[in-house]
Copies of this chain bind each other. A is one copy, B any other.
Amino acid sequence: MRELKSSVNKTFAVLEHFTVEKPEWGITELTKVLNSNKSTVYRFLSDMRTMGIIDQNPYSGKYSLGLKLFELGNRVQVQSAFVGKTHPILVDVAKNITETVHIAIIKNKQVFYIDKAESSQGLKISTNIGSSSPLHATSLGKVLLAFSYHNYQNLVTDKILNKTLKPYTPNTITDPKKLIKELEKVRAQQYAIDDEEFELGLVCAGVPIFNTRNELVASLSAAGPSSRYNKEKVKEYVKILQWGADEIKNKIGDFKLNIT
């Protein structure tokens, strides 16, 4: 906390510590991880509680994120102008595929999940909306790289030269040259496959979502256990996903998110 200068920085440094994994914090423990002072942290939380940004559990006294943030989150353009409108389509796609489907964009050189519709089946993956995954090991990410010239260029010039492609399973593509070939394939066939490249046992198929100006807006995928997948199924899923992407295109018109 000491090194952070502006009040905005400090405010959000506090909020950032409240995650899905650790949603509740007391003053003292939060003070430690923030490398700050009890009074300071107390005042931050106290001020935020007054405004509904932070809730306090009346029994434990612990603090957690409040409804004001839920409210603000729903005002963000990606929610109010995109997810809010396209979600019913996603639900339809999930119903037809009977697997969990996701929509993602690029944020900070990662796949950033903005919506999902879960499979009704017992065995399914569970992803948090607002969380991130690696670009090179997911179908969503490969699609976003393959169809965005800007990001593709970034990959070629920056990522490959400076950074290594982290392996997540034995199947993860870690050779930059192979990844570039893979992306060319994705462009050619208009969809991407993640064949247990991020998590063993998990297979995904992803397609791009364009707007009516044919600008890349997001990517759409279906994800399920490898036991339920085969080549025939993938073809079927890709068809349904492409139908969904087309429905979304018609719904959003020329709307564009700033994919960075």
Interface residues of A (CB under 8 A from B): 6-12, 15, 18-20, 23, 43-44, 47-48, 51-53, 55, 57-58, 64-81, 84, 88, 91, 107-108, 112, 114, 117-118, 120, 128-131, 258
Contact = CB atoms under 8 A, between A and B. Distances in A.
Count identical subunits in the complex: 2
B6 A70 contact: no
Contact of A258 (B6, B48, B58, B120): B58
Contacts of A72: 15, 18, 65, 69, 72-73, 130
Nearest to A19: B75
A12 B80 contact: no
A74 B73 contact: yes
- In the A-B complex, the 7 residue pairs with the closest CB atoms: A73-B73, A7-B7, A74-B130, A71-B130, A70-B76, A8-B47, A65-B76
A12 B114 contact: no
Given A23-B77, A72-B65, A84 B129 contact: yes
Contacts of A57: 258
5 contacts: A15-B72, A55-B258, A57-B258, A70-B79, A72-B72
Contacts of A18: 72, 75
Nearest to A47: B8
A35 B130 CA distance: 34
Contact of A53 (B8, B88, B117): B8
A11 B11 CA distance: 8
Contact of A67 (B75, B78, B117): B78
Contact of A8 (B51, B66, B71): B51
Contacts of A23: 75, 77, 80-81
B74 A12 contact: no
A43 B7 CA distance: 11
Nearest to A118: B88
B7 A67 contact: no
Contacts of A107: 52, 67
B68 A12 contact: yes
Contacts of A73: 69-74, 76, 79, 130
Contacts of A128: 74, 80, 84
A80 to B, nearest CB: 5
A7 B108 CA distance: 27
